[in-house]
């Protein structure tokens, strides 16, 4: 019995490790594209330090949900030193780019790779943030992906068992 549990735990940890790796790579690709788009848009609207702010946006975008807010605040505050109007434009542009990123890029790169639907992502990050803090927020999406995978395996196993019982 102990060996059977060890095998299951080892498999779970290996799957979790793989899922975390996939999540980090997918989120890094998503964040890099987001940072490039932010840099280009900030440059086009005449923002000061567009390249620097694009890099900050890409780095903070790695943090689920709250990261883009931090990146936007940094961009707005830096632009406030130069012009209130420019800071307002940067705020609007960053919000629009973030909305497009979260609606198009993130589901494509992250959700598709990790296998977590957007509603589960929101729920996982919210609950993890409330109960486990920042580390939980960072790990919530890959852990949820693994839990969903095991839930799907269980449902499939029960479904097959039910079909076998009906046939017999």
Span 135-165, pLDDT tens digits: 888 888 888 888 888 888 888 888 888 777 7
| pLDDT tens digits along 66-79 | 899 999 999 999 99
Question: If you write DSSP's letter for every residue of 111-158 in order, what string do you get?
Answer: IHHHT--HHHHHHHHHHHHHHHHHHHHHHHHHHHHHHHHHHHHHHHHH
Residue corresponding to tokens 């017999």: 168
The DSSP code for 168 is -
- Separation CA 67–CA 49 (nearest Å): 19
27 to 47, 107, 166: CA distances (angstroms): 26, 10, 44
Give the pLDDT of residue 168: 61
Q: What is the pTM of this model?
A: 0.76
Nearest of 2, 15, 37 to residue 147 by alpha carbon = 15
Taking phi over 0 as left and psi of -120 to 50 as alpha, with beta for the rest, 133 belongs to left
> To which residue do tokens 């707005």 refer?
76
């Amino acid at each position: 019995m102990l060996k059977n549990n060890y095998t299951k735990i080892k498999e779970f940890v290996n799957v979790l490790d793989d899922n975390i790796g996939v999540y980090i790579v997918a989120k890094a690709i998503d964040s890099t594209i987001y940072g490039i788009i932010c840099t280009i848009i900030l440059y086009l609207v005449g923002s000061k330090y567009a390249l620097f702010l694009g890099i900050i946006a890409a780095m903070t975008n790695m943090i689920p949900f709250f990261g883009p807010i931090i990146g936007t605040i940094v961009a707005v505050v830096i632009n406030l030193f130069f012009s209130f109007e420019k800071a307002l434009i940067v705020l609007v542009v960053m919000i629009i780019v973030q909305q497009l990123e979260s609606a198009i890029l993130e589901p494509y790169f992250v959700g598709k790779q990790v296998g977590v639907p957007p509603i589960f992502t929101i729920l996982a990050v919210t609950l993890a943030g409330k109960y486990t803090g920042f580390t939980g927020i960072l790990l919530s999406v890959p852990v949820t992906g693994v839990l969903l995978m095991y839930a799907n395996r269980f449902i499939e196993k029960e479904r097959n068992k039910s079909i076998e019982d009906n046939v017999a």
